[in-house]
Chains A and B, each alone.
Chain A
Amino acid sequence: MTLAAIDELAIRRAKTGDLSALERVYRAYESTVYSIARRICRTEEDAEDVLQETFLEVCNSVRRFRGTRPGSLTAWIKRIAASKALMRIRADKYRDTDEFDEEGGAAARAAADVGLQLDLEGALSRLSDTSRAVVWLHDVEGYTHEEIAELMGKTVSFSKSQLSRAHARLRRMLGEEGQC
Chain B
Amino acid sequence: MLRHCTMSELLEIRDGGGPAAARAHVDECAACQDELDRLHQRVAMLKALPHVGAPRDRWPAIRDAVEAGRRQRWYQRLAFGGLAAAAALVMGLGLRAVVPQANPVGDTMVDPADVETLMGESRQLEELLATVPRGRVLDGLTASAIADLEDRISLVDVGIDEARTVRATPEQVASLWRQRVALMDALVQVHVREVGYAGF
A contact residues around B34 at 8 Å (CB): 178, 180
Which residues in A have their C-beta under 8 angstroms from that of B42? Answer: 120, 167, 170-171, 174, 176
Interface residue B66 (Cβ < 8 Å from any Cβ of A): yes
Note all chain A residues with C-beta closer than 8 A to B94: none
Question: Does B66 contact A140, Cβ atoms closer than 8 Å?
Answer: no
Closest A residue to B55 by beta carbon equals A44
A26 to B62, CA, bound (A): 10
Contact mask B113-124 → A, CB, 8 Å, 1/0?
Answer: 000000000000
The interface residues of chain A lying within 8 Å CB-to-CB of B5 are 180
Contacts of A61 in B (CB 8 A): 143
**Is A168 engaged at the interface, CB distance under 8 Å to the other chain?**
yes
The answer to whether A117 has its CB under 8 Å from any CB of chain B is no
Chain B: how many interface residues by the 8 Å CB criterion? Answer: 42
The interface residues of chain B, by DSSP majority, are classed as helix
The number of A-B residue pairs with CB atoms under 8 Å apart is 119
- Return the chain B residue nearest A83 by Cβ: B137
| Interface of A, helix, strand, loop or mixed by DSSP | helix
Residue of A nearest to B66 (CB): A59
Interface string of A66-86 (1 = CB under 8 A from B): 110000100010011001000
Whether A139 lies near B58 (C-beta < 8 A) is no
Whether B137 contacts A22 by the Cβ 8 Å rule is no
Contact of A19 among B35, B66, B146 (CB under 8 A): B66
For the complex, give the distance between the alpha carbons of A103 and B177 in Å.
Answer: 63
B54 and A167 contact, CB distance less than 8 A: no
B31 nearest CB neighbor, chain A only = A179
Residue numbers in B under 8 Å from A34 (CB-CB)? 51-54
Asked whether B7 is an interface residue with its Cβ less than 8 Å from the other chain, the reply is: yes
Q: Is the CB of B135 within 8 A of A180?
A: no
A176: nearest residue on chain B (CB-CB)? B38
B19-47 contact mask (Cβ, 8 Å, vs A): 1 or 0: 00000000000011011001100110111
Could you list some 22 contacts between A and B, CB below 8 A? A17-B70, A19-B63, A30-B54, A30-B59, A31-B51, A31-B53, A39-B49, A47-B54, A48-B54, A52-B65, A65-B134, A65-B135, A66-B133, A76-B136, A79-B137, A139-B43, A139-B47, A163-B11, A164-B6, A164-B11, A167-B39, A174-B42
Interface residues of B (CB under 8 A from A): 4-8, 10-11, 31-32, 34-35, 38-39, 42-43, 45-47, 49, 51-56, 58-59, 61-63, 65-67, 69-70, 133-137, 143, 146
A interface residues, Cβ below 8 angstroms from B? 17, 19, 22-23, 26-27, 30-32, 34-35, 38-39, 44, 47-48, 51-52, 55-56, 59-61, 64-67, 72, 76, 79-80, 83, 120-121, 124, 135-136, 139-140, 160-161, 163-165, 167-168, 170-171, 174, 176, 178-180
Complex A-B, nearest 3 residue pairs according to Cβ-Cβ distance, in ascending order? A179-B31, A180-B35, A34-B54
